[in-house]
Amino acid sequence: MKNLISLYYLKENEEGTVVDIYDENDITVMLLNMGIKKGDSIKVLQNSFNGQLIVMVKDTKLAIGQGISDKIIVEKKES
């Protein structure tokens, strides 16, 4: 069964694959610029549960705010 949730809910050290980005164009373009796109694997390094995340995408460490983390839909990887 596929486990689709927004990145917001991933806990520390959990991983997911980007399935969709839920928005008008802006966030998608911003994320593409920073190297995040559909099919990429995202690992959450820190989640303080107010939507602020530190994530790892390939070799880039990114800090993401609430407005964005809740719009990235991922398929959670079972560890």
**Residues of this chain that bind another protein (CB under 8 A):** 25-35, 37-38, 45-46, 48, 50, 52, 54, 58-68
Give yes or no for a contact between 36 and 18, defined as CB atoms under 8 angstroms apart: yes
Q: Which is nearer to another protein, 9 or 51 (CB)?
A: 51
The beta-strand segments (E) located in 2-40 are 4-6, 15-21
Q: Which residue's CB is nearer to another protein, number 5 or number 65? A: 65
CB neighbours (10 Å) of residue 15? 17
Q: How near is the Cβ of 73 to another protein at its closest, in Å? A: 14
